[in-house]
Amino acid sequence: MRPLSIIFRRELGAYLSSPLGYIIAAAALLTTGILFQWEGLGGEPKLSSDVLTQFFYVASGVTMCAAILLSMRLVAEERQEGTLVLLSTSPASDLAIVLGKFLSAFALLAGMLALTLYMPLLIFVNGKVAVAEIAAGYLGLFLLGGAVLAIGLFASALARLQIVALLVGGLITAVLVLIYHLAGIVDPPLSTVFEKLALYHLHFHGFMTGLIELESVVYYAAVIYFFLLLATKTLEAKRWQ
Amino acid sequence: MAMRTPSAWWLSALFVAGLLFVFVGQRPLSQTDALGPALTVLGTALALGAAAVRGWVVYRAKGAGRRTEAVLLATELGALAALATYALTGARATDAIDFASQEAESTYLAAMRAGYAILFGLALIPKLVVEIGLGVARRGRFARPADLDGAGASQSVELPKVRELAWSGLTIALAGAFLMVSCHVASERNARVDVSYFKTSSPGESTISMAESVGEPIEVLLFFPEVNRVKSEVRGYFNDLERQTGNVRVEEHDRMVSADLAREHNVTEDGTILVVYQGRNERIRVSSEFEQARRDDLRTLDGDVQEALMRVIREPRVAYFTVGHGELNDPDTRAVLGAEEPGLTVELLRQRLTMLNYEVRDLGMTEGLARGVPDDATIVFSLMPHSELLPEAQATLVRYLEDGGRLFMALDPRGEADLGALGERLGVRFRDTPLADDDMFIPQRRNDSDHRLVVTNQFSSHAAVSTLAQAGPRAEVVLNSSGYLENAEQADPASRLDRTYLIETLPSAFADETGDFVFDEALEERDSYDVAVAVEGELSPPGEAREAGGEAPGDGDDGDDSDGDDSDDSDGDDSDDRRQHGDDDGESREMRALVFADGDMVSDALVAQVPAHRILIDDAIRWLGGEEEFAGAVESEEDDYIQHTRSEDVFWFYSTIVGAPVLVLGFGLTWVYLRRRLLTGRPS
């Protein structure tokens, strides 16, 4: 646990002591604010539940982008700067390295999401929403963000350059999101597989409307676990190079 | 980094290509007669051939090279096993097996499909990982006999790396298979928790007043199963009502146990609520399934109870809607007059009237509008007539008011109608210059025309708007191109009428004389414009007015307080005086009229979206029907539309778009700067 804790604190400290973390957080807040104004608050009057749904819809897109941005540097930067060798030869296992880095990025992402909390709370002023409904939406955002972070971390473990990690992570995420649309044009059982595999549509929509489903929670946990495993195995494999 | 292996890299490529051919033949080209089967056969042959060659290489190779080839052969055999499992899901295989039932066949197919998918994963992922690790350079051809010496082979292949990679691949595949199965089980045994907004409505002020107003206790019979969550919610509502009124008796029954009672009241379903009063009973149906009830029934329970109470505590009444002048309720005539507009309907007003136990009927020339209002009329509505009411119709309405009738009149600048003779008699003039407000308005089209969507929260404390007045500044109504009302000289001075202006705009409003939606200081004036008036009292027929002679309107205590300050003297001594005045003649002829300068206020578009408009029409109907003691909002936990004025929009805009990001960035950069200064100042 100690190596994991050291790596977690080191990574989180790196985010918080450089302007990058704050710039990404401010940019995420700004984007969420603009999109929330446009989609949720602007135009025709909307039911408060619809406004909340629109907020989570907007926030989910921003969360995915922020997660990819935050994760791209996790391993690729170490490799670029030549510090990965030091990390690999340290007493920390590959699993501890991956987990420590993932948890630090997740903590930052969770902090960023917590900063957006005032937006759904504004709905209380004029509308009728439940605290649990907002909490369910945020649970969905944390799970979705965690899943995309894990994907990004895997991409970062694969790539030598941060930009490549960004592209690979973005591509995997995009494929996993868009695969839902493929489900409509292929035959069963492939359509069912694609539908269930899709990162966003089937699994996140429930959270947006205050519906927590075991299926979706297990799915996101599985995606996080699987991509963290892939990242660990990738780091192990890279030791042979 | 590539290693020399006994076999060429393309042997694996050939094997995978064979599997791809099978996939294409079985999936995208499965409907073709020749190509699909041909590709399947070719693909299978390729895969088998590649595996056979691999077997031959394993047989010939030695040392580390042999073990590496054995690993690759194992993955290929696994993939072939998956292919065989896949074949067992085909029509020929299932036809050959004698399944006990359809269910057994489905179970078999599901198991086999999961099986071949997992086998493919377990075989191909390690193969892919090992092949990536081995690389393609220096592996373009098969090894010659000289290369297969034990020492040479051991030097060329890093067996531990191959083994490690194979185990990694296998771990990933096993994890993927485990997660696939976990997700499938979670999907099959899915548990859902709906935490969206839900609250059973509580008894509203209006419902409480109704229950208190009756002489005998109201009985409420709840027919639910013994243990039921919906029953607990419903029971909670009626317990509140019982506690607050002391005039409600609640009984719980299981319709199976109290079979005689259920039969007596014809109750055949769980979730039936019977409201019984003096032999009359009304039933309310709610679902006994909690998830459905929370979505459909419990949030609006107060409205349903109120509707049931209105039906049992008094006889039904009749409300007449005038037709034939392009009224909102008369779309056919509006179409003929070219006055159709989307959303300008009054279905929600009809629904409210029905809920308040009114029967709604049309009143046109054929129904007697030129001769006289039917005797059974409680209220007559004339809703935004597009053309002027015919003189005969105006005369009928005046006579109706003289006889103590109740009139709801909504005019609008978009029509050509005016108050005409009614205005002269009531002492009210309608101005058809549309109002605008460039400060308090609803931004809709995001241009100047939005200034016509004026927002106001200025209500008098008159009984016709008492609930809105009590609700405070958050209760806002929206006016859409509204006209305004002014005092006019009253034609019959003998009438003793009270005029109370009910709703006025905020002082930033102006009458848009130039029609350009913007304020022109030279030509227009900002003021609080009156948009609704309540007139009550005795309206004397012209003959009586002449006999009564000279008492001028506004003289003495006639209650005319329409000086723009709004009065709140609709209750108290004045009304007592009026009733006494009516009693002197042997019968009360107290008329009540509500005149609005904006027809949209009762249209579905605004009533559906702005809760204050629902309250407004409820209170208006109750006041006109003489039931103002039942005034009060219906408690509903249904979702509300969120509508912002321009100034609120600006606040939300700056707080969401600018405020929060600037705060985060400002804090972050300051923290980074201070930290760096602290670190640079510290000795190393």
pLDDT digits (tens, 9 = 90+) for B287-319: 998 878 887 888 889 989 999 999 999 889 999
Those of residues 324-343 in B touching chain A at CB distance below 8 A are none
Q: Do A29 and B661 touch (CB under 8 A)?
A: yes
Rounded Cα distance, B71 and A142, in Å: 41
What residues of A are in contact with residue B162 (Cβ under 8 Å)?
Answer: none
Element spanning B480, H or E? strand B477-480
Output the CA–CA distances (angstroms, integers) from residue B18 to A152, B13, B33, B58, B233, in the order listed. Answer: 33, 9, 20, 20, 64
Q: Output the six-digit token pair for B411.
A: 């005019």
User: Tens digit of pLDDT for each residue in B334-377?
Assistant: 777 777 777 788 999 999 999 899 999 999 988 888 888 999 99
Burial annotation A168-203 (CB, 10 A radius, 16+ → b, else e) = bbbebbeebbebbeebeeeeeeeeebbbbbbbbebb
Nearest-neighbour CA in chain B from A53: distance (Å): 11
Q: What is the DSSP string of B430-460?
A: EE-SPEEESSSB--SSSSGGGGGEEEE-EE-
Best of B158, B187, B610 to disrupt the A interface (most A CBs within 10 Å) is B187
Confidence of residue B543 (pLDDT cuts 50, 70, 90): low
What residues of B are in contact with residue A214 (Cβ under 8 Å)?
Answer: 186, 189-192
For B481, what's the count of Cα atoms within 13 Å in the CB-facing half-sphere? 14
Nearest-neighbour CA in chain A from B547: distance (Å): 56
Q: What is the DSSP string of B45-60?
A: HHHHHHHHHHHHHHHH
Best of A17, A29, A35 to disrupt the B interface (most B CBs within 10 Å) is A29
Tell me how many residue pairs between chain A and chain B have CB atoms under 8 A apart: 167
Predicted complex ipTM: 0.83
> Which residue from A23, A41, A48 is facing B640, i.e. has the nearest CB?
A48
CB neighbour list of residue B34: distance below 8 Å, 6 or more residues apart: none
Q: Provide the 10 A C-beta neighbour count for residue B11.
A: 20
Q: Do B175 and A226 touch (CB under 8 A)?
A: yes
Confidence of residue B155 (pLDDT cuts 50, 70, 90): low
Confidence of residue B42 (pLDDT cuts 50, 70, 90): very high
What residues of B are in contact with residue A210 (Cβ under 8 Å)?
Answer: 194-197
Q: Do B196 and A133 touch (CB under 8 A)?
A: yes
Helices A48-71 and A201-208, packing angle to 10 deg: 130
Q: What is the average per-residue pLDDT within B447-452?
A: 89
Q: Is the pLDDT of residue B446 over 90?
A: no
More confident site: B624 or A33:
B624
Rounded Cα distance, B436 and B71, in Å: 82
Least confident of B116-125, B421-430, B500-509, B579-588: B579-588
Those of residues 611-670 in B touching chain A at CB distance below 8 A are 637-644, 649, 652-653, 655-658, 660-662, 664-665, 667-669
Q: Do B451 and B467 contact (CB within 8 A), yes or no?
A: no
Among all chains, which residue has been given the structure tokens 């439940």?
A130
- What does the mean pLDDT of chain B come to? 84
| B485 secondary structure, DSSP code | E
Q: Do B595 and B426 contact (CB within 8 A), yes or no?
A: yes
Q: With CA atoms as reference, report the closest residue to A95 among A85, A105, A103.
A: A103
Among all chains, which residue has been given the structure tokens 């660990």?
A232
Within chain A, strands assigned E span: 46-47, 211-213
More confident site: B637 or B83:
B83
User: Tens digit of pLDDT for each residue in A131-165?
Assistant: 899 999 999 999 999 999 999 999 999 998 999 99
What residues of A are in contact with residue B194 (Cβ under 8 Å)?
Answer: 210-211
Confidence of residue B331 (pLDDT cuts 50, 70, 90): confident
Q: Do A229 and B668 touch (CB under 8 A)?
A: no
Nearest-neighbour CA in chain B from A32: distance (Å): 8
Q: Provide the 10 A C-beta neighbour count for residue A205.
A: 17
CA dihedral of A15, A17, A21, A23, whole degrees rounded to 10 = -160
Q: Do B190 and A190 touch (CB under 8 A)?
A: no
User: Tens digit of pLDDT for each residue in A43-76?
Assistant: 667 788 888 888 999 999 999 999 999 999 899 9
- Residue A151 pLDDT: 97
Q: Provide the 10 A C-beta neighbour count for residue B545.
A: 18
Rounded Cα distance, A193 and B416, in Å: 64
- Residue B585 pLDDT: 47
Q: Is the pLDDT of residue B618 over 60?
A: yes
Nearest-neighbour CA in chain B from A6: distance (Å): 20
Confidence of residue B150 (pLDDT cuts 50, 70, 90): low
Q: Do B637 and B199 contact (CB within 8 A), yes or no?
A: yes
- What does the mean pLDDT of chain A come to? 89
What residues of B are in contact with residue A134 (Cβ under 8 Å)?
Answer: none
Rounded Cα distance, A86 and B506, in Å: 71
- Residue B501 pLDDT: 94
Nearest-neighbour CA in chain B from A138: distance (Å): 13
More confident site: B92 or A167:
A167
Q: Is the pLDDT of residue B406 over 60?
A: yes
- Residue B598 pLDDT: 93
Q: Do B30 and B166 contact (CB within 8 A), yes or no?
A: no
> Which residue from A23, A49, A233 is facing B665, i.e. has the nearest CB?
A23
CA dihedral over B591, B592, B597, B598, signed as positive or negative? negative
Q: Is the pLDDT of residue B653 over 80?
A: no
Confidence of residue B322 (pLDDT cuts 50, 70, 90): very high
Q: Is the pLDDT of residue B562 over 50?
A: no
Adjacency order of strands within the sheet including B272-277 = B248-253, B218-223, B272-277, B280-285
Q: What is the DSSP string of B285-326?
A: E--SSHHHHHHHTGGGHHHHHHHHHHHHHS--EEEEEE-SS-
Confidence of residue B571 (pLDDT cuts 50, 70, 90): very low
Rounded Cα distance, B80 and A190, in Å: 20
Q: Do B175 and A122 touch (CB under 8 A)?
A: no
What residues of B are in contact with residue A217 (Cβ under 8 Å)?
Answer: 186
Confidence of residue B558 (pLDDT cuts 50, 70, 90): very low
CA dihedral of A184, A189, A192, A193, whole degrees rounded to 10 = -110
Burial label, B361 (beta-carbon count in 10 A; 0-12, 13-18, 19+): middle
Confidence of residue B554 (pLDDT cuts 50, 70, 90): very low
CA dihedral over B142, B144, B150, B155, signed as positive or negative? negative
User: Tens digit of pLDDT for each residue in A4-37?
Assistant: 999 999 888 888 888 878 888 888 888 888 888 7
More confident site: B632 or A228:
A228
Range among A227-231, B145-149, B666-670 rated most confident = A227-231
Best of A12, A116, A128, A131 to disrupt the B interface (most B CBs within 10 Å) is A128
Q: Provide the 10 A C-beta neighbour count for residue A107.
A: 15
Q: Do B671 and A118 touch (CB under 8 A)?
A: no
Strand B218-223 to B248-253 pairing: parallel
Q: What is the average per-residue pLDDT within B587-592?
A: 78
Closest CA in chain B for residue A221: B179
Q: What is the average per-residue pLDDT within B18-27?
A: 91
> What is the percent of chain B where pLDDT is above 70?
87
Closest CA in chain B for residue A19: B669
Partnered with residue B458 across adjacent β-strands are B504
Element spanning A156, H or E? helix A131-158
Element spanning B535, H or E? strand B530-538
Confidence of residue B561 (pLDDT cuts 50, 70, 90): very low
User: Tens digit of pLDDT for each residue in B514-528?
Assistant: 989 999 988 899 999
- Residue B531 pLDDT: 95
User: Tens digit of pLDDT for each residue in B416-435?
Assistant: 888 888 888 888 999 999 99
Least confident of A21-30, B644-653, B674-683: B644-653
Output the CA–CA distances (angstroms, integers) from residue B190 to A40, A89, A218, B418, in the order listed. Answer: 31, 44, 10, 63
For chain A, the maximum distance between any two Cα atoms, rounded to a whole number of angstroms, is 60
Q: Is the pLDDT of residue B95 over 90?
A: no
More confident site: A44 or B105:
B105
> Which residue from A46, A214, A215 is facing B642, i.e. has the nearest CB?
A46
Q: Is the pLDDT of residue B649 over 70?
A: no
- Residue B559 pLDDT: 39
Range among B132-146, B391-405, B433-447 rated most confident = B391-405
- Residue B283 pLDDT: 93
- Residue B65 pLDDT: 84
Q: What is the average per-residue pLDDT within B141-147?
A: 70
Rounded Cα distance, B250 and B232, in Å: 13
Element spanning A226, H or E? helix A214-238
Closest CA in chain A for residue B178: A222
Q: What is the average per-residue pLDDT within B229-247?
A: 89
Q: What size, in residues, is chain B?
A: 684
- Residue B611 pLDDT: 84
> Which residue from A46, A133, A206 is facing B197, i.e. has the nearest CB?
A133
Nearest-neighbour CA in chain A from B162: distance (Å): 10
Q: Output the six-digit token pair for A20.
A: 């990058």
Q: Is the pLDDT of residue A166 over 50?
A: yes
Element spanning B647, H or E? helix B646-653
Q: Do B434 and B407 contact (CB within 8 A), yes or no?
A: no
Q: What is the average per-residue pLDDT within B611-635?
A: 87
Q: Is the pLDDT of residue A78 over 80?
A: yes
More confident site: B554 or B236:
B236
